[in-house]
Structure 1
Amino acid sequence: GKRGSKGERGDASAFVVREGRYTLVKGQKGDRGRRGRKGEVGPKGETGDAGTPGTPGLSIQGEKGSKGEPALFPDVDLIRGSPGPR
């Protein structure tokens, strides 16, 4: 689960810029990139731990997904958006 709250997001209409397939929206730093699918909970795991589901017989806990690319500017969140201009 989340250990701390992500705080208030800024107003989405304040600053929106398209960049590739991402939409940049002004806000505070939060999750970036996509998290992996939820793995099963191992001992000491948390529900909602990001990760690929563990392969049965190998590991119960999935691996953590990567954090994704850092935000381009401070104060900007990378959010999954519709694909930009092709």
Structure 2
Amino acid sequence: MDEQARILQALGGVNLAGHSVQGGMALPPPHGHDGTDVDGRKQDIGDILHQIMTITDQSLDEAQAKLVYFFNIKLSTY
């Protein structure tokens, strides 16, 4: 028995046509076949990426400010 079949058997009642797994878990539908608004999904992904980049920029700014602060303290102690 291959690994994929073993995993499916371990999950129990798997309905591949409906993409559902016993216990209320749902597998994501295949790409492009769910009928949702693709542009809306792209916008959501873009928004999430923008938030991640903003957080990253803030973290870098904070790290740089700390570096400058500690560098200035080190220079003032000599």
TM-score normalised by length of structure 1 = 0.16
Return the structure number with greater strand share: 1
Kindly indicate whether structure 1 or structure 2 has the higher relative contact order, using CA contacts under 8 Å at least 6 residues apart.
1
TM-score w.r.t. the length of structure 2 is 0.17
